[in-house]
Amino acid sequence: MLFATLYKIPVVGRLLKKPDDPRDALIRRNVVSSLFYQFLTNLLGLLVVPLSLSYLNKENYGIWINASLIVSWLQNMNFGMGFGMQNHVAESIAKDDEPTAREYVSITYKYSTLIAAGMLAVASVCLPFVNWKKSLQHRSPR
């Protein structure tokens, strides 16, 4: 259904037309799908803002955004290991070397766990000393 609709758009239709190599068709289809879903994700993100503001006042919304950004920042902080693993696993699969691909995945998980445990240890020591009201400039309602 989605691809039938996408084929009707002239630029997208040319990208998705049947090339000689079936792998090219798969790559093209995946790129267009990824772009479409990225656009949809961004659009939904913009629609969430007015909805959130209707439930929260401006000050609480600001705190919510700060907390969300900190969590998002921590989720994306993988020190490039995800992309590195992706490249090495793809190379191993292309060479039909599945044991090496599995090894790359397990090593990435091990190091990610070690980094997360280290960050948790540092955070558990440092966070009790942070004055959250002052750092977020929150004024409690009285």
Task: Determine the length of the chain.
Answer: 142
Q: What contacts 18, CB < 8 A, 6 or more positions away?
A: 25
Report the pLDDT value the prediction gives residue 103, as an integer from 0 to 100: 94
What mean pLDDT is predicted for residues 59-72?
Answer: 83
Q: What contacts 13, CB < 8 A, 6 or more positions away?
A: 6, 7
109, 111, 117, 123: CA torsion to nearest 10: -120
Report the pLDDT value the prediction gives residue 8, as an integer from 0 to 100: 67
What mean pLDDT is predicted for residues 65-87?
Answer: 81
Is there a contact between 93 and 101 (Cβ–Cβ < 8 Å)?
yes
- Rounded mean pLDDT of the chain? 82
pLDDT at 102 over 90: yes
Residue with the larger pLDDT of the pair 6 and 95: 95
